[in-house]
Each structure stands twice: as C-alpha cells, then as structure tokens.
C-alpha cells in the first residue's frame, strides 16, 4: 500500500491519518481503560499505510513516551499487515524489557491472562503470533539494548507471559559470548537479582531490628542512592515523602538531585502539586525542610512553564477555565488531581514566569492580578476570583477583546472543552476577539478525541497536554502538516 498524502481536513471531516494521530497523543491512551479506543485503532490502522502507523507508533513511544498507545498501534499493525514496517515498529517501540511480554500479549489478545504456574506454555498460549513480531523482538534481543540489570528488573514473574516465554518464542541468535551467557540465564531463570531502591527498602524492613536501627539503615540507603544519582526525577517525585521523612539531613541531597534531574524531565506542574500535598500530610517533616522543598518545586515549575510558554509565544493571554466541570478528576494517573489543578498550576506558573496576561472564567470572567513566585498561594487565590459556575466562553472573549492587540502574541485556553454554544461558534468567537493572533485550546484530559486541529486559519485544538504535542502543533501553525511531520520521523534500523 502506498501512502496517500491526504490533507488533515477533508471538508469538515478529519483524515484517517489525523484521527489516528489524535488517538495516539490523547491522554485517553494513558489509562488502563481502553474501552472503545481499541476498536477505533483497529479500524483506522486498516485505513492508513503501514509506514504511517509504524512511524506514528515509534514517535508516540520515543518522543511522547506513551507506552500504551505505541504498543496498541504496533500490535494492530502486526495483526493487520505484518512485513517490514511491522518489524521496524516493533524494534523502535520496545524500549523497556517488560514490553517484550506486553507487546506479545497485545498481539495475541491475551492481555487479561491470569498467572499460570510454571509460566505460559508457548504452544498453548503463544500460537499464531505473526512472524513480523517475532523477527522484530528477536532483533531487539540481538541489538544488546538491555543489560542483565534491566532484564532482571523488568522481568515480571507475576505476569502470564514472561520474558523466557518470549525468548523461547522468537529464538534470537546471540551476537557474542556475552549474549550467549545472558540468554542462557534468562532461559534458566538465573538472572542476577536487580538491586532497586524498592528492593533495598524492602530488605531493610524484612531484616527487622529496633525502630532506631531500621530508621538509621533507611536513612543510609536513601543517602547512598541520592549520592550515586540512581533515582530518576519521577522516582524522586514518588518517593519524596519517604526520603524526607527518613531524616531531615537528606533534604539538601534531595533538593540537589531534584533540581538536577528536573532539567531534562518533561513533568508538568500539576505533578509537583500532588507531591507537595502528600508531603504536607506527613507529620515527620519540619517546616524548614518543607520550605526548602517548596522553593525547589516552584523553581522547577517556573522552569517548565518557561519552556512550555516559549512554544506558544513571548506574550500569551492565558485563559483558565474554573467552571464546575473542571472539578472532575483528570484521566492521568495522578490520584486526586482535578482538571482545574492542571489548568491552574500551568496557568499560574506561566503568568509568574513571563510577560503574560491572565483571565479566569466560568459563567463570568475576570482578569488575573499579577502573580508572584508564591505559586501555590496564587493558585488558591486565582481559583477563588470567581465562583465555579457553568462554562461561558463569551465572558472570556469580552475581556480578550478589551486588551490591546499589540500586547499579546497568542491566546492559550486551558479548559475541558465544555462548550454550551457549540464548538464551531466558540472557536470562531475566540479567533475573532484575538484579532489575527493564534488561539490554542488545550483539552485538559483529552476526553473528546474528535476535535479538529484548525477550524480556521488561527485556531488549534490540542487533545491533552504534552510538550511534544505542543511542539508538533507549532509546526502545524507554521504550515507543516502533522502527517508530513510523522512521515519524516526517522526510524532506528535494526
């Protein structure tokens, strides 16, 4: 099948390529509940060229870091097409050891298998697996992408399909003596146990001792991990409460690592708000340590906001939706985070980080006063400027209309897309009041996946919030097609 270069919009209908792209970038594919999504992916993969699906899957995994969407696209590509593009997609998408089994299960439609004593018999459970998947997975084994530590860490023994089952299924050819030994260890279940921070802490608790002895051992273990720089930024966010409650002496080490790892992280501000909420509920953390942590978090939030803001423009009108529907939890895996948490954390960080203007709205609207670097106090204040009523975009449009057109470069709307007046009317109204400046609607949780990217020359819709998706939308605004961008994405060769 040759790639048919369709436009993003076909009249008022989206092309199949763009519909598939929207599914891939949407946070709906970040969740465990894929009801309805799988059927749509199956339908769309059958309508587009294998090359496009392969490149979209690779882009989704390697740049957007969305494992679920990438595995879903690759599995459907292997089932429907096979061939060279499927093998290439498999080789590019598998970036973690547990994805050997996850992708195999997705292709075999065995995702709901329960654990079977002794593993899964390959003839009974792994029959009818496409050769494209086998050859792609074999190439990953042979590439030396993973070492023994990674194989041991991510070989989940409580899953129905285990790493050794996949090894027996694909039969990779060792490329050197080291791989001969490594593959034999996988087959014989004799991999050296991986030492992770979870296992270190579990071992300390299992060994027991007095309360003081356990506390001292825990403190020493965290200090060793921090000094050795073995914790990722995400791990530091997740383990913040445990590290700081272990001993206040770890605070300086923690903050240093937190700031260092934040430079390359793609975490959005609302994740830090969730982290601080958990820390403040821990009675063992003093106000001195908490202040040091809050200062570091706000520094990182401003850094992230600067990076995100630069993708939209130097002077942005940030429009924050605080209507009642924004109180619904988002689809991301962030516990109790609400939609307005995402909008307020990013919006306030943007307003504090640059020469931007703010508007908050529900059934009425108001300008946001200047925000200091005390972001969390500002978030509470902004949320309470107006009551949480229904969603009336016309209220925000009137305030945008009053601004000097020369005072801003773009309008960024952080919302859940709750249109009472209809999507077309709202988009047209925003474009009109922006007076030629681009308008970006960010659907906070991406729950409505059918939003076109442009209803008019300067109106764009983004299903969900990710830096890579924002960058891609900028290229659309500059005149490049999203489809062209995906097709230009380079795959790694086996």
Give the residue from 366, 267, 352 showing the smallest Cα distance to 322.
Answer: 366
Per-residue confidence (pLDDT) for residue 156, from 0 to 100: 74
Rounded Cα gap, residues 350 and 306, in angstroms: 7
CA atoms in the 13 A half-sphere facing the CB of 64: 32
Per-residue confidence (pLDDT) for residue 441, from 0 to 100: 87
Evaluate whether 463 touches 64 at the Cβ level (below 8 Å).
Answer: no
Evaluate whether 234 touches 276 at the Cβ level (below 8 Å).
Answer: no
Cβ neighbourhood burial of 328 (10 Å; 0-12, 13-18, 19+)? middle
Sequence-ordered list of residues with C-beta below 8 angstroms from that of 203, at least 6 positions apart, any chain: none
Structure tokens at 75: 């599995």
Rounded Cα gap, residues 83 and 128, in angstroms: 15
Sequence-ordered list of residues with C-beta below 8 angstroms from that of 230, at least 6 positions apart, any chain: 197
Residue stretches of the chain with pLDDT short of 50:
1-12, 110-124, 332-334, 449, 451-454
Helix or strand or coil: residue 99? Answer: helix
Structure tokens at 178: 């080291």
Give the residue from 454, 459, 319, 451 showing the smallest Cα distance to 397.
Answer: 319
Rounded Cα gap, residues 226 and 259, in angstroms: 12
Structure tokens at 491: 């795959």
Chain position carrying tokens 């003093």: 286
Q: Which residues pair with 411 in a beta bridge?
A: 317, 439
Domains in the chain: ranges and CATH? 197-305 (no CATH), 310-463 (3.40.50.410)
Rounded Cα gap, residues 484 and 52, in angstroms: 10
């Amino acid at each position: 099948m040759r790639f048919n270069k369709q436009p993003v919009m076909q009249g008022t209908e989206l092309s199949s390529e763009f519909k598939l792209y929207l599914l891939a970038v949407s946070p709906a594919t970040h969740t465990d509940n894929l009801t309805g999504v799988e059927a749509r992916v199956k339908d769309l993969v059958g309508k587009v060229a294998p090359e496009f699906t392969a490149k979209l899957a690779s882009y989704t995994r390697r740049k957007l870091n969305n494992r679920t969407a990438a595995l879903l696209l690759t599995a459907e590509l292997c089932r429907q097409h096979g061939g060279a593009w499927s093998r290439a997609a498999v080789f590019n998408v598998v970036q973690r050891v547990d994805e050997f089994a996850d992708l195999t299960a997705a292709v075999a439609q065995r995702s709901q298998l329960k654990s079977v004593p002794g593993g899964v018999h390959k003839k009974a459970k792994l029959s009818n697996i496409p050769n494209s998947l086998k050859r792609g997975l074999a190439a990953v084994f042979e590439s030396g992408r993973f070492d023994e530590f990674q194989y041991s860490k991510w070989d989940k023994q409580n899953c129905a399909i285990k790493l050794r089952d996949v090894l027996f299924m694909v039969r990779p050819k060792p490329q050197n003596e080291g791989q001969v030994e490594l593959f034999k260890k996988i087959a014989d279940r004799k991999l050296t146990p991986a030492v992770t921070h979870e296992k270190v802490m579990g071992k300390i608790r299992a060994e027991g001792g007095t309360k003081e002895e356990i506390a001292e051992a825990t403190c020493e273990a965290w200090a060793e991990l921090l000094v050795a720089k073995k914790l990722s930024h995400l791990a530091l966010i997740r383990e913040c409460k445990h590290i700081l409650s272990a001993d206040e002496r770890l605070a300086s080490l923690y903050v240093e690592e937190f700031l260092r790892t934040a430079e390359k992280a793609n975490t959005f501000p609302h994740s830090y708000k969730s982290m601080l909420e958990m820390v403040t509920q821990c009675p063992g953390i003093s106000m001195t340590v908490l202040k040091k942590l809050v200062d570091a978090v706000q520094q990182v939030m401003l850094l992230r906001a600067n990076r995100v803001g630069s993708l939209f423009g130097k002077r942005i009108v940030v429009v924050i939706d605080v209507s009642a529907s924004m109180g619904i939890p988002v689809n991301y895996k962030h516990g109790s985070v609400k939609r307005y948490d995402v909008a307020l954390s990013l919006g306030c960080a943007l307003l504090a980080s640059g020469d931007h203007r703010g508007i908050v709205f529900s059934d009425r609207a108001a300008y946001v006063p200047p925000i200091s670097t005390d972001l969390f106090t500002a978030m509470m204040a902004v949320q309470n400027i107006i009551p949480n009523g229904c969603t009336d975009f016309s209220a925000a449009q009137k305030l945008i209309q009053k601004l000097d057109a020369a005072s801003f470069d773009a309008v960024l709307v952080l919302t859940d897309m709750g249109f009472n007046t209809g999507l077309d009317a709202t988009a047209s109204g925003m474009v009109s009041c922006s007076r030629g400046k681009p308008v970006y609607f960010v659907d906070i949780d991406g729950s409505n996946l059918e939003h076109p990217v442009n209803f008019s020359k300067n109106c764009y819709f983004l299903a969900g919030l990710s830096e890579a998706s924002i960058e891609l939308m900028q290229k659309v605004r500059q005149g490049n097609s999203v489809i062209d961008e995906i097709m230009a994405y380079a795959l790694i060769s086996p």
